[in-house]
Structure formats: structure tokens, C-alpha cells
Amino acid sequence: MSDELKDRIIKLLVKDELVSTRSKIQDSYPDRSLSEAAEVTRFCPSPTGFVHIGAIFTATICQYLARQSDGVYFLRIEDTDKKREVEGAKQLIANQLTAFDLTPDEGLQANGEEIGEYGPYTQSERKNIYLAYAVDLIKRDRAYPCFATKDELDAAVKDQISKKLRPGYYGEWAIWRDRTDEETSQALDSGKSFVLRFKSIGNHNKRIEFNDAIKGKMSLPENDLDVPLIKSDGSNLPTYHLAHVVDDFLMKSTIITRGEEWLPSTPLHIEIAQSLGIEPFKYAHTPVLSIIDPSGGGKRKLSKRRDPEADVDFWIKAAYPMRSIKAYLLGLANSNFEDWYKQNPEADLSDFPFSLKKLSTSRSPLLDIKKLEDYAKDEIASMPQSHFNKEVLQWANIHDKTLYEEMMIDSDYTKKVLCIEREGENPRKDVSKWSDSSDQFGYFYDSIFESNFLPSAICDLDEHVSTEDQISAIKSLLSTYDHDVDKDTWFENMKLAAKKDGYALNRKDLKANPENFKGGLADFAKIIRVYLTGKTRTPDLYTIMQIMGAERVKKRLSSS
């Protein structure tokens, strides 16, 4: 391609944009003043929908690599796909990173400000920078205009598939790669729009080797695809392939941590970097998260479309303690985390010696909500009572106003409710997330109990116990009930009432002569529990009665 034709292409590409030179741009991005061992990591989501929990997994890895090496972890918003961009998604990303204790050192913050000296950190604001590098590739004979129509490209793919060849713009199907200057000039003269394509010199039959910081030594086919570099939609925005290389070069990223779905594109990115005279980056491709398919079929990739757990908002709305989520994700990344966590239950999680080598053994880590809830239950059970109370009330104030208002009527009563079975060496672990608060504590408040708990519980009880037997059990209990006795005496009174009403006090008698009894002591207690709490499983019944007080207990049982 002649220099004259190159200049013409460059003018049409740049149009009225003020494009600087590479050298001037690079002067404004000096080397970072960091130690040789410091890692500069980047988290680069696209604002095209909700944030995936897998992205939070990757961001956690980025943060740990930077923190443990006294480096920098920055957020870059990759918003070049304007057709798919969701309004408000950029700020949502920043807000959710902060919610997960992943606030970046540089880039967009939760307060809407952008900090750092290596920005702009939003790709749509860096258009002129990419154009400067695209111009450089044209001058180096590593980029050219392509005027192929959609129909022509579709026909090429159809032909490749019919011949059982891999689809793509390469070889004989790269129909504008080797056009003469005259043909290209004629296309320009006709006013046809074009896409600027990379001119690959790779050979797909050869291999390129590189070391992945997670996967180890990799050997993949060389790139031979002439991929688009600048979009043809008039935006002058780059494709990911050019933007990634330019941005991470200028922002001085030392390791490219990204999902393993980008692994096949790595030979392309290495070639683009080399064509620009940039030393290829160190890559670390993280494994995708998986899940056991609830409908059967075993382990599969966590899906945005099928799995609510994929959406970060699911985790936020459930209100798991963020420390427990962070702990769980670290456990997915490093198998030795759980032992460290058990040995250091009160340590700052940032003290954990995170290792990429340990991550290399994790192939599609399995997302197990039950395991997460174990972390969360331990976290919540170990909280000081004042902190626990504060978290419950804060959640209720935002998400369950009725519960909050009831709790605030009598703060002393609420404190007793929230303290139930949380003291001692083995505190109760029935709260795994703050959204459990409505179910765990709501029944202590009369209006909530009567509307939200009792009706459904009675319906369930009716399926197993006749109305007559329910009424009889309650009357028997009330005949022996004394609020002021100690627990042992209370229990003896409970047994006396159960025996009086025809229930066996020990399993042997019930098993030997089931026809002689209405059931066992547990069956009798279940009736009382349902009428007091609207639930079949609760903390210790004696403790519940003591907290509720004699008046409330008698009122609930008498109303039967």
C-alpha cells in the first residue's frame, strides 16, 4: 500500500478527531513508581448488564495480587459496545465493588468520582488514543480497510462450514487483504464504509507458546485472523482486541487477569502487541465458576440466564455478610484457605497468603450455597451482640419496615429476642444472611405472627393432627403452665400435660404400643410450638416462653 493511499485512509478514519502521536501519548503515561515485585492488576467489566459473581471472583484475585505485592489494582470500564450498554451500569459496577470490599485503587469510585493518574479509565473516553495506535498500524502495513458487506462475510462463513473449515476472516476468505491500491482507491471513491482490519502474519499450522500464570505453559495455534480493530458504526471506537493491548500497555498492567474464555484469543493479542512493538503481557486466565444443575445433569457452568446466583444483586439482596462471601470466594480460589480460616478466625482476610499457583488446581470451582452459608453462619454467630443487633435492625429498616417498626416499639423486648441462644460456647447458627431476620424473629411480634406465620402453620398442622387434638393439647398445657418456674420444673409440667392428654413420654412405650397413644412428647410439643410461633422448628421452647412473657403466651394459646 502506497504512502499516499495510507494517508488517505488515515484521514478518512480519523475524520475531524484530534489525534496525537504515539510518542506524545506515551509520554503522558510514565512508568509507575513501584518496586520490581509490585503487581499492577486490572478489573475490566463491560456495563452491558448485571455484574456476574464470577467477575467478583476475578476482581478478588486482582485485589489480592496487588495488595500482597504493594502494587495497584484498578478498575477500567470497557464500554465500547454501545448497543448493549445498560444505563446506570457503570456506577452500579463501582457501587457493587465497594459493597464487596473491592474498591479499586484507581478508576471509578462509588461516589461517582474517578481517581488515578493513568486514565481516563473508561474506554469510550479514550477514543483518540486508540485511533493513534490504529494509525500507527496502518503506517506499519499491519492494518488495512475492508469493504466486505455482511452478505459477503456470511457467504464466506457458509462456504467454510460446508468445507468443514473453521470460520473466520483469513486466507482466501480475507477478500480485501491483498487488493491493489487501485481497487482500494475505487472503493474509497465510491464512498463505501469500511472497517479497519488487523493484518496478521501468523500461521494457524504453527504453534505459539507462552506461560500462563495460572494454567502454566500453553501451546496454541498462531493467530491468522484479520480481526476488526476500529468499528465501522461511525463511533470510531475500538474492538476489545486493540483496546486491551493499548490500555494495558499505557496503564502499565503487569498481569492480565481475565476469564479463561479469553484464552483462545491470547495468540491474537500477543501478535497485536508485537506488531506495535509492545512486549507481550503476562496472562492469568481464571477458571469459570460452575454449579450443580438443580434439574439434574450434574456440574455445569454458572449461567447468567438460568441461575439467579450468577447475579451479584442476588447476593446483595440476600444480605450475606460481605466478609463471609469474601472468605467463600477465597476458599474457591485457594484450597488451603479453609484451614487458614479455621486457624485464624478473627484475622483480617487480607492477611491470607493468596497464591496463583494454588488457583491453578481449581478447575471450574463449584459454587455451593450451602458451603457459603456455613461461612456466613460462623461469621454471624461470632459477632458481638451489639453488632448483630445493629445489622438486623439496619436490614429491617431498609427491607422490612413492618418488622422494623414492631422491633422499635419495645427495644428491651427486641434485645431479648435478638439475644436468644447466642451466648455460650455453642451459639445458635440459624441466621446465615440478614434477610433471614423476618423468618427468624418476626413471629415474636403479634401482628406479624398472626398474619405471616400462624395461618400457614395451622394448615400444615391440620394435615397431621385433628383440630380436636390440637385444642386438647393446648388446654392440657395451659392447665399445668406456670411462667415463674425454672426450666426443669417447666419441663416436668410439660410432660405431665402431655401424659394427661394421651402422649407417650418415652419412645419405647410409643414404639411398643402405638395404638395406645396420640404420639410422643415431641408431637405434643410441636402443637404448642406451632401455636406459639407459627413454626415447627425454633430455639428452645422454654426460652421462647420466657421472652414472650406469660401474658403473650396465654393469649396465643387461649386464642386457639
pLDDT score, position 362:
66
Domain assignment of residue 496, given as a range: 385-558
Give the C-alpha distances (Å, rounded to integers) separating 236 from 6, 48, 228.
Answer: 17, 19, 12
Q: Are residues 529 and 442 in the same domain?
A: yes
Chain mean pLDDT for the chain: 94
Q: Are residues 389 and 271 in the same domain?
A: no
Q: pLDDT by residue (tens digit) across 444-469?
A: 999 999 999 999 999 989 888 999 99
Q: 550 CB contacts (<8 Å, ≥6 apart)?
A: 483
Look at residue 544 and tell me if it is in a domain.
yes
Q: What's the CATH number where 226 sits? A: 3.40.50.620
Q: Are residues 183 and 244 in the same domain?
A: yes
The whole-angstrom separation of Cα 272 and Cα 258 is: 18
Look at residue 277 and tell me if it is in a domain.
yes
Is residue 5 very low, low, confident or very high in pLDDT (cuts 50, 70, 90)?
A: very high
**Which of 381, 397, 422 corresponds to the end of one domain?**
381
Q: pLDDT by residue (tens digit) across 479-515?
A: 999 999 999 999 999 999 999 999 999 999 999 999 9
The whole-angstrom separation of Cα 345 and Cα 74 is: 29
Look at residue 82 and tell me if it is in a domain.
no
Q: Are residues 279 and 296 in the same domain?
A: no
Q: Are residues 362 and 407 in the same domain?
A: no
- Take residue 354 and report the three cell numbers written for it: 493468596
Parallel/antiparallel/unpaired status of strands 40-43 and 72-75: parallel
pLDDT score, position 345:
87
Q: pLDDT by residue (tens digit) across 240-285?
A: 999 999 999 999 999 999 999 999 999 999 999 999 999 999 999 9
**Which of 246, 266, 286 corresponds to the end of one domain?**
286
H or E, element range at 197: strand 195-198
Q: Are residues 252 and 304 in the same domain?
A: no
Q: Are residues 523 and 392 in the same domain?
A: yes
Look at residue 81 and tell me if it is in a domain.
no
Give me the count of residues in the chain.
560
Q: Are residues 268 and 328 in the same domain?
A: no
Crossing angle of helices 53-67/322-333, nearest 10°? 80
Look at residue 34 and tell me if it is in a domain.
no
Q: What is the DSSP letter of 294?
A: T
- Take residue 453 and report the three cell numbers written for it: 406465620
Look at residue 43 and tell me if it is in a domain.
no
Parallel/antiparallel/unpaired status of strands 195-198 and 143-146: antiparallel
Is the Cβ–Cβ distance between 184 and 145 less than 8 Å?
yes
Sign of the Cα pseudo-torsion (499, 503, 506, 508, in order): positive
The whole-angstrom separation of Cα 526 and Cα 154 is: 68
Q: Are residues 218 and 162 in the same domain?
A: yes
pLDDT score, position 310:
93
Q: Are residues 258 and 310 in the same domain?
A: no
Look at residue 55 and tell me if it is in a domain.
no
Q: What percent of the chain has pLDDT over 90?
A: 88
Amino acid, res. 478:
L
H-type helices in 20-68, by residue range?
22-27, 53-67
H or E, element range at 263: none
Look at residue 63 and tell me if it is in a domain.
no
Q: What is the DSSP letter of 11?
A: H
Parallel/antiparallel/unpaired status of strands 195-198 and 228-230: antiparallel
167 closest CA partner among 154, 179, 150? 154
Beta bridge partners of 114: 108
The whole-angstrom separation of Cα 558 and Cα 556 is: 6
- Mean pLDDT across 376-404: 96
pLDDT score, position 560:
63
pLDDT score, position 232:
79
Strands of 379-500 (E only): list them.
none
pTM value is 0.87
Q: Are residues 312 and 410 in the same domain?
A: no
Q: pLDDT by residue (tens digit) across 311-364?
A: 999 999 999 999 999 999 999 999 899 999 999 988 999 999 999 988 876 678
3-state DSSP call for residue 172? helix
The whole-angstrom separation of Cα 39 and Cα 108 is: 20
The whole-angstrom separation of Cα 222 and Cα 201 is: 9
3-state DSSP call for residue 493? helix
Q: pLDDT by residue (tens digit) across 361-379?
A: 667 899 999 999 999 999 9
Q: For the CA atoms of 350, 356, 361, 363, what is the dihedral angle to 10 degrees?
A: 90
Q: Are residues 162 and 266 in the same domain?
A: yes
Number of structural domains, the chain? Answer: 3
**Which of 233, 259, 286 corresponds to the end of one domain?**
286
